[in-house]
Amino acid sequence: MNSGDGFKRASSNGVGTCQRAPGGQDWVMMRDTSLPADTAAAIFFGDDAEPDEEACWRAVLARDRRVDGGFVFGVLSTGIYCRPSCPARRPSRANVRFFANGAAARGAGLRACLRCAPDSLARDETAITRAIAAIRAADEPVPLAVLAQDAGYSAAHFQRLFTRVMGLSPAAYGRALRLERAREALSDPQGARVSDALYDAGYSAPSRFYDAARGRLGMAPSAWTRGGRGVTIRWAVVEVALGSMLVAATDKGICRLAFNETGEDLARRFPEAELVEGGEGFSALLEQVLAAVEVPALAAHVPLDVRGTAFQEAVWQALRRIPPGETRSYAQIAAMVGKPAASRAVGSANGANPVAVLVPCHRVVRSDGSLGGYAYGLEIKRALLERESEFVR
């Protein structure tokens, strides 16, 4: 029997509910980890799958902090229970049982480990939640010392705790939040003037926004508010083995790659931009794109000019890390970006991907191995996967 926040599992000690890992209150930036993504994803497959106790055990062996709060493991030979990341020596698998939380473990007669203090996670989660709320409500950056004092931790300890859970520091989280708010405001054609939107987003001066956005934004902020006015986009529709393909680019990189779309579709997406078909400089970039379609390994070298929410961009980065010839499930991508309960949101981010093939959303499939959906049809998705499988053989 499944629940909305996790799942239930049977064990030798009965049935317990494994809840989703902490950190799901807000988006997090993608971060590297020594644990393969499929291990974390196997524990948090979502509402339509049963958990894998061996995957839980692999997480325990890896001392994976990402799944702290998702379950605890009890050691029958010592009578204690621990969080998955406990630094203590690992017991024999035969002596280990998994429980939904500390209360379930105590009900089985076990006591909390004094070394890893598994029951302190609730306090940690509360501290992170309060800090997120404070950062989001503030008009200006909140000093680390203030956040730490409110949580009852030292500044150094809270910095480590926040960074471990959220994948970025409190200061970096605040900067990313202000940037996203500004981008949303600037994307609204009915919104305020650029300077007003930036002040409302929490920047002390427009120059601070431009500094934060440098290297991340394609169009200038003022162009966003005017539907791309002042931006030149060069484009072409070419025939490839998979059908007709629209390729469009700004002077920074590819901003649109789609199958079975035309220049009229591009005009609806960028109604105020100057659209120029072809061009000598564009031809060289187009050749790179065509080569990447034929040889998937070359896709990483094609410059892109895309934007989305922080979560969407984290998903798109994760997609580009999937090697050609391989696939990942939606749950695995969710685990890669630090939000193991966000499989459906990953599907939405896939659908919002503006650059097919180069950001390989076709490499994401359902947990049962079926293809799932694809914006350009399952035939094209299947063909892309088959071509890539043949390429890597």
What span, in angstroms and rounded, lies between the C-alpha atoms of 35 and 177?
28
DSSP output for 149-217: HHHTS-HHHHHHHHHHHHSS-HHHHHHHHHHHHHHHHHH-TTS--HHHHHHHTT-SSHHHHHHHHTTT-
Burial of 338 (0-12, 13-18, 19+ CB in 10 A): buried
Q: In which element (H, E) is residue 266 found?
A: helix 263-269
| Active-site residue identified among 56, 82, 86, 255 | 82
User: Beta strand 254-259 with 232-240: parallel, antiparallel or unpaired?
Assistant: unpaired
Is residue 361 among the annotated active site residues? yes
| Active-site residue identified among 86, 116, 255, 361 | 361
User: Beta strand 254-259 with 243-249: parallel, antiparallel or unpaired?
Assistant: antiparallel
CA R_g for the chain: 24
User: Beta strand 2-3 with 6-11: parallel, antiparallel or unpaired?
Assistant: antiparallel
**Strand ordering across the sheet containing 72-75:** 96-99, 72-75, 80-82, 111-112
Residue bearing tokens 């800090």: 131
70-100 CB burial, b ≥16 within 10 A, e <16? bbbbbbbeeebbbbbbbeeeebeeeebbbbb
Residue bearing tokens 């997609």: 319
Q: CB–CB of 206/195 below 8 Å?
A: yes
What span, in angstroms and rounded, lies between the C-alpha atoms of 213 and 183?
9
Is residue 255 among the annotated active site residues? no
Residue 188's φ and ψ, nearest 5 degrees, are: -85, 110
Q: CB–CB of 270/218 below 8 Å?
A: no
Residue 223's φ and ψ, nearest 5 degrees, are: -70, -35
CA distance from start to end of the chain: 41
Q: Residue 331: which of 296, 369, 374 has the closest Cα?
A: 369
What span, in angstroms and rounded, lies between the C-alpha atoms of 291 and 298?
7
The residues carrying an active-site annotation are 82, 361
